[in-house]
Amino acid sequence: MKILMLCPLISSSSMITVYPMAKALSKKHDVKLVGPLLGGKPFIEDDELEMKFIEPCISRPQQLAMLELYHRNMKMLMKYDFDVIHAFKLLPHTAPVASAIKKRTGKKFILSIDDYDAAASKNPLKRIVMNWAERACKNADAITVSSTYLQRMYGGRLLYQVPNEKLFLKSRPRQDVKKALGIEGKTMILYAGTFYPHKGLDVLIRAVQQLGRNDIALVLAGSGSEDGRLRRLAGPETIFTGMLPMKRAAELTAACDIYAIPTLDTEYARAEIPGKIFEPMMLGKPIVASRISDIPRILDNGRSGLLPRPGDIGSLAQAIEYLADNTKEAKRLGARARTRYGEMYCMASLGKKLNSIYSGL
């Protein structure tokens, strides 16, 4: 089967959702990824996957670029030979394009939704555009969603995001990683991802500061709209690495002692599953993650990680200190997380579920 995957932005972290699906399906099918770079470079580079870049006439502002891409994508994709078009996200240049192509050609249309984009912006115009894009759901032959919240909204099959197993499983704990950060001999808490308000990184910084311990260091790897505010809030307990290639993020994950996901309770966060949760699970790291969305379900209601209340500085600080002072319990939770990942959330499991969806077409 020839599958054309219509990607939102090949140079962005949205590829973390696209890539594992492409890899899983490419074992049995001919997969081609299509999308823009907007002046960047592929977020994940893989010579085994075919990628085609369709660029708009303008790249900024990004919202206008995506609107302009609707017509450009329509024109170009009609020339490609494929059996199924698999679109990602409810954005104006992905799902509506796939829906329109289905109407014109009769080709099957699969839609994957991994967050609640319409709730992400306070801009009324952007919300109108996103709500228009949502109409494409009605024409999809199959839908996959990444959380039970999204499943209640859109229906479809629940498929959790799978990390880049090939890259992360190659990473091993190395002392020189901590040494390079200047925290050798300390308990390293890691968050690696985007810096947005709902991520709760200000709560994480304050929780570590509340502990007031010189033997605990917080490493924040990434960037985003909250970068400046977080740097002003942080003290010597926090190290900022800036944006890193995924290989470097994998090395940090392998070297950390505790992985923190301090998500706040917002409408957007309730619909989102932080895909980064599966990376430390795969590597057997103890996890401290907010009790929100499907996180308790993924961590087996606290049997594979600690679940402090979202936004609660004291609860988060207590969980971090408990794991820092109880290394045996930390290792036990990490081992349970690794086992759970292998049984329920790994690439092999994703491949079986995806192929069953495609067989159903």
Indicate the CATH number for domain 2-162+347-360: 3.40.50.2000
pLDDT computed for residue 23 by the predictor: 94
How far is it, in rounded angstroms, from Cα 260 to Cα 151? 26
Q: For the chain, report the end-to-end CA distance as a whole number of angstroms.
A: 11
Residue spans of the domains in the chain: they are 2-162+347-360, 165-345
Asked: is 165-345 a CATH 3.30.70.141 domain? The reply is no
Residue 118 is predicted with a pLDDT of: 60
Mean pLDDT, all residues of the chain: 92
Rounded Cα distance between 272 and 113, Å, is: 10
Under 8 Å between Cβ of 68 and 44: no
The answer to whether 45 and 73 are in contact (CB under 8 A) is no
Nearest-angstrom CA–CA distance, 157 and 159: 6
- Give the pLDDT confidence of 228-283 residue by residue, as tens digits: 999 999 999 999 999 998 899 999 999 999 999 999 999 889 999 988 999 999 99
Q: Identify the band that residue 70 occupies on the pLDDT scale cut at 50, 70 and 90.
A: confident
d(C-alpha 174, C-alpha 351), whole Å = 31
So what's the pLDDT on residue 141?
Answer: 97
Percent of the chain exceeding pLDDT 70 equals: 96
State the Cα torsion 254-320-268-108 to the nearest 10°. Answer: 30
Give strand pairing partners of 33: 5, 51
**Confidence band, pLDDT 50/70/90 cuts, at residue 125:** low
Q: Which helix or strand (DSSP H or E) is residue 4 part of?
A: strand 2-6
**What is the mean pLDDT of the segment spanning 138-157?**
95
CA 56 from chain centre, in angstroms, equals: 25
Same CATH fold assignment for domains 2-162+347-360 and 165-345: yes
Q: d(Cα 7, Cα 2) in Å, to the nearest integer?
A: 16
